[in-house]
């Protein structure tokens, strides 16, 4: 744990496999202690600032509850109610918050090529760890919890030969970030899993994450493929992870929109594009294409009746609530491993 003190946690790609394994082992230990009712005041009297540019349920509560259980205090900050909304720079924000506390966690995920950049600018300004609670590139606290869940289900040993299907799925609610599928393809290829990425035309991911996944697969001796067929991705999979995200080109147009009206028009166009692929749903038929022992995973919230049927979501192959609980334990592990004490 000491080797990670002060280290930023912005993308899983930034950490060695040994460092990620430390976090996973610590997550397991903290979860076991939590279920035994043991206290874990590892960060007594420390402070972490939680800066949100987007809504959150699991992430916010995992970090707030986790900080409390570690003996620390989490400050919730809404970017719209901070001086960031008046133009304060990422560097200045990092400099100030870093001087007042022991860690900074940020969610900035909806605008392509902005969130990750903002976090790294904050990190340049301070020597306290900066933790990514989801950006435009990666959602590294979610995918670490996903991997913890997979290890609990399939064992901590070699996952080689196991296949995960990361697939786009239909959503009528809003154009969701790309960071969950991007985080999955970059982490799971390193973890020993074969990864099949499926999406309709127009829903490509960032090239930098695709290239990272290809490189990770080569180095780890795993497989990574991209298909435009949800059925093909599900075939013989051990894990299925159907998740909606926005069409890349329109997401870029939304980033460059000049006013709220233009943004609303682009959002409407994105949802209309989603609606062309209503048949991209995780249902009972598709689950039968996967292995009989396959599990259904999702970062939540899932659009019931669109991304997934109730029968699958509430069925015996679903592990989404085990997965959601693990958000707490991985959040605690990341904070405990990276936040260092500030001497008087």
193-242 pLDDT tens trace:
999 999 999 999 999 999 999 999 999 999 999 999 999 999 999 999 99
103 and 166 housed in the same domain: no
pLDDT in tens, 15-48: 999 999 999 999 999 999 999 999 999 999 999 9
pLDDT > 70: what percent of the chain? 98
What 8-state DSSP symbol labels residue 204?
P
Look at residue 165 and give its three-state secondary structure: strand
- Domain containing 305: what range? 142-324
Domain membership flag for residue 53 = yes
pLDDT at 95 over 70: yes
Question: Which element (helix H / strand E) includes 261?
Answer: helix 260-274
124 and 181 housed in the same domain: no
**Which residue has 């289900």 as its token pair?**
153
181 and 263 housed in the same domain: yes
185 and 280 housed in the same domain: yes
CA diameter of the chain = 61
82 and 152 housed in the same domain: no
154 and 124 housed in the same domain: no
174 and 300 housed in the same domain: yes
191 and 318 housed in the same domain: yes
**Average pLDDT score over the chain:** 96
Domain membership flag for residue 266 = yes
Domain membership flag for residue 112 = yes
pLDDT in tens, 243-271: 999 999 999 999 999 899 999 999 999 99
Domain membership flag for residue 153 = yes
Residue 158: predicted pLDDT: 81
pLDDT at 176 over 60: yes
162 and 108 housed in the same domain: no
pLDDT band at 2 (very low <50, low <70, confident <90, very high): very low
Angle subtended by helix axes 58-69 and 320-338, to nearest 10? 50
Domain membership flag for residue 344 = no
pTM above the 0.85 mark? yes
CA distance linking residue 65 with residue 174, whole number of Å: 28
Domain membership flag for residue 60 = yes
pLDDT band at 344 (very low <50, low <70, confident <90, very high): very low
93 and 202 housed in the same domain: no
Cα 46 → chain centroid: 25
149 and 297 housed in the same domain: yes
8 A C-beta contact, residue 43 and residue 67: yes
Domain containing 116 — which CATH number?
Answer: 3.40.50.1370
- Domain total for the chain? 2
Domain membership flag for residue 304 = yes
Number of other CB atoms surrounding residue 99 within 10 Å: 12
CA distance linking residue 166 with residue 95, whole number of Å: 38
156 and 279 housed in the same domain: yes
Domain membership flag for residue 343 = no
């Amino acid at each position: 744990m000491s080797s990670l003190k002060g280290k930023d946690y912005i993308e899983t790609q930034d950490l060695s496999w040994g460092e990620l394994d430390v976090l996973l082992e610590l997550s397991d230990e903290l979860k076991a202690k939590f279920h035994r009712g043991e206290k874990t005041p590892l960060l007594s009297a420390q402070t972490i600032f939680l800066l949100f540019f987007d809504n959150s349920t699991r992430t916010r509560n995992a970090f707030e509850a986790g900080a409390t259980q570690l003996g620390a205090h989490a400050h919730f900050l809404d970017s719209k109610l901070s001086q960031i909304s008046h133009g304060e720079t990422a560097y200045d924000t990092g400099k100030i918050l870093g001087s007042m506390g022991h860690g900074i966690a940020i969610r900035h995920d909806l605008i392509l090529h902005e969130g990750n950049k903002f976090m790294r600018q904050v990190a340049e300004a301070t020597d306290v760890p900066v933790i990514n609670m989801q950006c435009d590139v990666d959602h590294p606290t979610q995918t670490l919890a996903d991997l913890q869940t997979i290890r609990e289900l399939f064992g901590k040993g070699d996952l080689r030969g196991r296949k995960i299907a990361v697939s786009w799925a239909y959503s009528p609610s809003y154009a969701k970030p790309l960071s969950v599928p991007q985080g999955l393809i970059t982490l799971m290829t390193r973890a020993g899993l074969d990864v099949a990425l499926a999406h309709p035309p127009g829903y490509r991911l960032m090239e930098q994450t695709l290239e990272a996944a290809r490189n990770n697969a080569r180095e780890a001796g795993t497989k990574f493929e991209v298909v435009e067929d949800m059925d093909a991705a599900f075939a013989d999979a051990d894990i299925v992870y159907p998740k909606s995200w926005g069409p890349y080109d329109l997401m870029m147009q939304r980033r460059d929109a000049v006013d709220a009206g233009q943004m609303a028009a682009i959002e409407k166009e994105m949802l209309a594009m989603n609606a062309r692929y209503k048949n991209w749903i995780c249902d009972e038929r598709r689950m039968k294409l996967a292995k009989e022992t396959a599990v259904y995973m999702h970062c939540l919230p899932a659009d019931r009746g669109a991304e997934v049927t109730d029968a699958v979501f509430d069925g015996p192959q679903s592990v989404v609530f085990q997965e959601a609980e693990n958000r707490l334990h991985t959040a605690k592990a990341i904070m405990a491993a990276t936040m260092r004490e500030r001497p008087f």
